[in-house]
Structure 1
Amino acid sequence: MSLKDQITEDMKSAMRAKEAAKLGTIRLITAAMKQKEVDERVDLTDAMVLAIIEKMIKQRKDSIAQFEAGGRQDLADIEKAELLILSAYMPAGLSDAEIQAAVASAVVETGAAGPQDMGKLMAALKPKLAGRADMAVVSVLVKAALAPR
């Protein structure tokens, strides 16, 4: 079953169970998916759906930080609940050791020698790690791997 189909089934079960919070979050996902399909005139693959969900997760994390800084814990709690629902659709994350191993193997594969090769290295890593690792963390590890010694 594709991720898109799973999300549709989860929406139906949330409707039946009258889980309003879960249903609202899943409807946000389906709206974002339909928007992308209409804008780009494509059928979404699992990788595209994961990218949409990953973007939504990033937005929720930013919102939580802003709400907590502004003293609006009530709104931060709502965002945290949505974040949990969104995170359930993401594949299992990689450990730091696994990310470091992927960076090391990508350095060897691409022949990256210095900071000027960071773009090439990130382009090689993004498809492998998308949805499974925070790309900001990967970026820091890539910079460290390419730093002159």
Structure 2
Amino acid sequence: MSLLERLNNDMKQAMKSKEKDKLSVIRMVKASMQNEAIKLGVKELSDDQELTVLTRELKQRKDSLHEFDKAGREDLVEKLRTEISIVEVYMPKQLSEEEVSEIVKQTILEAGAKSKADMGKVMAAIMPKVKGKADGSLVNKFVQQHLS
């Protein structure tokens, strides 16, 4: 079942069970996917493109969560935590820190990186491997650790 089909089914279910938060988030994600398809001039997004949109939606919410938390807006923080948990359901299984560390070590060896000057080259090689499965800041942290 494609992601769009899953979103449609979950949207119907959310309507039936009157889950307003879930319905709202699913509609926002679907709208983002449709906008991306229009922007790219395609009828349907590929799995990779869908993952890109989902990742972007999740990142926007996490960034907003951080800002609202700093501002002490607990009402908005709770709402965003709920939205994040709903979006995360559609994301692929996340890699553990150990798995990310192993991928980083392997990629550093493959790229022949020696110092922090090679960080851009290593990050460019790693990110496609962990797309949607690991947070970029976590990958960045491990790359810095292993290159120092």
For normalisation by structure 2, the TM-score amounts to 0.91
**Distance (Å, rounded) in 2 between the aligned partners of 1:63 and 1:21:** 17
Structure 1 counterpart of 2:98: 97
Shift of 1:54: 1.5
| Deviates further, 73-82 or 10-19 | 10-19
Structure 1 counterpart of 2:3: 3
Could you give the per-residue CA deviations for residues 59-117 of structure 1, whole angstroms, max 9, x where no partner exists? 21222222222232111111111111011111111111111100111112222222232
**Amino acid in the other structure paired with 1:27:** R
Residue identity (%): 39
Could you give the per-residue CA deviations for residues 25-75 of structure 1, whole angstroms, max 9, x where no partner exists? 000000100110101113312222122122211221222222222232111
Structure 2 counterpart of 1:83: 84
Structure 1 counterpart of 2:144: 143
Does residue 134 (structure 1) correspond to residue 135 (structure 2)? The answer is: yes
**Distance (Å, rounded) in 2 between the aligned partners of 1:17 and 1:87:** 20
**Amino acid in the other structure paired with 2:24:** G
Shift of 1:17: 2.1
Corresponding residue SS for 1:132? coil
Structure 1 counterpart of 2:117: 116
RMSD: 1.4
**Amino acid in the other structure paired with 1:136:** S
Structure 2 counterpart of 1:13: 13
Structure 1 counterpart of 2:61: 60
Give ranges in structure 2 of 5+ residues lacking alignment. none
Does residue 32 (structure 1) correspond to residue 32 (structure 2)? The answer is: yes
**Amino acid in the other structure paired with 2:23:** L
**Distance (Å, rounded) in 1 between the aligned partners of 2:129 and 2:73:** 37
Counting matched residue pairs gives 147
CA contact (8 A) 1:4 1:46 kept: no
**Distance (Å, rounded) in 2 between the aligned partners of 1:48 and 1:5:** 15
**Amino acid in the other structure paired with 1:135:** G
Give ranges in structure 1 of 5+ residues lacking alignment. none
Corresponding residue SS for 2:134? coil
Structure 2 counterpart of 1:22: 22
Following superposition, which runs of at least 4 residues in structure 1 exceed 6 angstroms of deviation?
none
**Distance (Å, rounded) in 2 between the aligned partners of 1:105 and 1:44:** 31
